[in-house]
Amino acid sequence: MTDFPYGSALIVGAGSGISASLARQLSALGVKVGLAARNVEKLQLLIEQTGASAFAADVSQPASVAALFEEAAGALGGPDVVIFNAGARLRGPLAELDPADVEKAIATTAFGGFLVAQQAAQRMIPHGRGAILFTGASASVKGYAQSAPFAMGKFALRGLAQSAARELGPMGIHVAHFVIDGAVRSQMRPDLAEKPDGTLSPEAIAQTYIDVLRQHRSAWSLEVEVRPWTENF
């Protein structure tokens, strides 16, 4: 399909689940793909499969994120599409969590999202086009017990997505937030492969991201939720 509206995509917080599927599907559409992660070694196989570029970055550090976009622009152009997929799932009783861990989790999930969105906006605004996608979770819309830091980070990311959509939409930049309401299968979660009916296929999720990227600007989605057909929600 030569009609895909974007030529380059940077996936931040790349791992073996949604990001890997996105890298494969975007590459197959002819999009130049960059993958950013703290540890790029784990991305080797994916890079070989897709021809994507890999970048090391710590999303919670402003200088690291700025350098990432500089590098990505050189390697890919753009990027026209930026997908923020990072997040720290810290769990535990509210009274017992280590504040330093909580601070770090919020820095990764929320502040990292801000840094990435800001870099993306700075590069997209002059062109009047682009797309910024955020990956949310059940915890984006419901704060669960024993999971305050994850709820804080994911709620904050949703607030960021709403602000960014209202601010950047009229400049031609499509901002979308996905509520992934369930467990996603991946190489890191081989246990889930045995429960296909109750878990999300990363390929299916990625397909919905691609659909949203293809939307005409007269009918953009800001929020899309996806869950398995058998989910009890």
Complex with a second copy: residue 53 or 209, whichever CB lies closer: 209
Return the number of the residue (47 or 169) whose C-beta is nearest a second copy.
169
Nearer to a second copy, 72 or 151 (CB): 151
| Residue 33 DSSP symbol | E
Nearer to a second copy, 188 or 193 (CB): 193
Minimal distance, residue 79 CB to a second copy, in Å: 15
160: tokens are 């960021």
Instruction: Give the shortest CB-52-to-a second copy separation in angstroms.
Output: 22
- Residue matched to tokens 């969105």: 117
Cβ at position 32, least distance to a second copy in Å:
23
Separation CA 140–CA 2 (nearest Å): 35
How many other CB atoms sit within 10 Å of the CB of residue 67?
Answer: 16
* Sheet containing strand 81-84, strands side by side: 53-56, 32-37, 8-12, 81-84, 130-137, 173-180
Q: How far is the CB of 157 from a second copy (least distance, A)?
A: 8
Helical spans, DSSP H, in 91-190: 99-106, 112-124, 148-168
For residues 42, 59, 160, 173, the Cα torsion angle rounded to the nearest 10 degrees is -80
